[in-house]
Amino acid sequence: MLPISVQAGIRLSFIDALFTATSATCVTGLTVVNTGMHFSIFGQIILLVLVQAGGVGFMTVATWFALALKKQVSLSDRLILSETLNQTTMEGIVRLIRKVLLYSITIEGVATILYTIRWAQEMPLGRALYFAVFHSVSIFNNAGFELVGGFSPFVGDTFINLVSMLLILLGGIGFIVISDLLDYPKTKRLSIHTKVVLATTAILTLISAVCIFVFEYTNMRTLGGEHWTTQILASLFQAITLRSAGINTVDIGSLREATQFLMIIMMFIGAAPGSTGGGIKLTTFAVLVGALFSMIRGKEQVVMFRHRLPEKDIYKAVTLTVISVFIVVGFTMLLSVIQRQDLLMILFEIASAFGTVGLSMGLTEDLTFSGKIIIIILMFVGRIGLLTLAFAVQPKQKKELFRYPEGKIIIG
């Protein structure tokens, strides 16, 4: 809210400042004001710091500072870090934190160079470099903040599209998977987590891209007037950005309802655990699909890549999904009472906030004070994760000394 953070003659209300700060910290990208026109360089840098910290995690950033100051990482901090990065053991957790720093700097640095080369053709070198740094950090952390007034002008720009899509994918699959892939030449093996994330990402991206192309190639307001190569590129870009990136090269509000509903489903699924994205997570969806096929085939075990999944993980996936559905449905009903807008537009906004995606059909700028509060809460819940929230509020568990008799109910 400081005058130095906004352009001259512009005032930022408290609720708009809170909304923007939450959106940046939760790496969502929903904006109630134009980032490039409303904020000064100082304000944009504040957003960038929040995006970087929110993307990699506050415990990760705190550990970076501790390591830089030659301080020891305590056992309790290691436990929290292992939970933050979805690790089942504390072994090598500090080494992984160092890798996260190295990966982030390297990926964002390379993207900055590539973006600078491209944008230096259209603007002064200094401005091109600043834009490149901002968008590299924002897109890699799947935040969705941008300074160019939207990526629609780049719908047919192959270079910008490829760099951006690669950033989104690297941010969406998570640091654990990136580390596993880089270690593959030495270990010659990939963990089941990495295999599930890569396979699910590829399948969902392909399905989304094909559906978007089929639904939109005759829509003159989106892809209908474009060359077929641009149509394919745009379809693939929109499919990948649903992994939680929040930038788009076509107008979301002009898409057909079938495409918008598909996007809602994909935003709800989200990115991988331990990544910069949100949603119920790719692995949760994969476990649910695996359990579904096992049930249909009459199998008692859920097997993926020749590994049997423990029942605890299946229960966790079902619980997480059911709670997420209740939250999305409940917040959708609540916001529909307040906003009086089209239900699909409201559901899209809710799914985008919950999945920390940042795409919008145009509702964000029209949110009332109460509507902004609802989206702020939802962005926060979507970023910290439902399991983290559940563990924070649940009472201390006591071991039961008895078992109830088994009961039979009719299912289906």
Using one digit for the tens of pLDDT, what is the confidence trace for 297-324?
Answer: 888 888 898 889 888 889 889 988 999 9
Residue 397 has a pLDDT of: 63
In a domain, 399, yes or no: no
Residue 379 has a pLDDT of: 92
In a domain, 397, yes or no: no
In a domain, 141, yes or no: yes
Instruction: Tell me the two tokens of residue 241.
Output: 């950005």
Ranges of residues in the chain with a pLDDT under 70 are: 58-70, 72-94, 386-398
In a domain, 115, yes or no: yes
Domain residues for 318? 3-392
In a domain, 408, yes or no: no
CA-CA-CA-CA torsion for 17, 21, 23, 25, nearest 10 degrees? 180
In a domain, 286, yes or no: yes
Alpha-carbon span 33 to 46, nearest angstrom = 15
Alpha-carbon span 288 to 324, nearest angstrom = 14
Q: What is the 3-state secondary structure (H, E, C) of the chain?
A: CCHHHECCCCCCCHHHHHHHHHHHHCCCCCCCCCHHHHECHHHHHHHHHHHHHHHHCHHHHHHHHHHHCCCCCCHHHHHHHHHHCCCCCCCCHHHHHHHHHHHHHHHHHHHHHHHHHHHCCCCCHHHHHHHHHHHHHHHHCCCCCCCCCCCHHHCCCHHHHHHHHHHHHHHHHCHHHHHHHHHHHHHCCCCHHHHHHHHHHHHHHHHHHHHHHHHHCCCCCCCCCCCHHHHHHHHHHHHHHCCCCCCCCCCHHHCCHHHHHHHHHHHHHCCCCCCCCCCCCHHHHHHHHHHHHHHHCCCCCCEECCEECCHHHHHHHHHHHHHHHHHHHHHHHHHHHHHCCCHHHHHHHHHHHHCCCCCCCCCHHHCCHHHHHHHHHHHHHHHHCHHHHHHHHCCCCCCCCCCCCCCCCCCC
Residue 97 has a pLDDT of: 75
In a domain, 186, yes or no: yes
In a domain, 294, yes or no: yes
Give the chain's domain count: 1
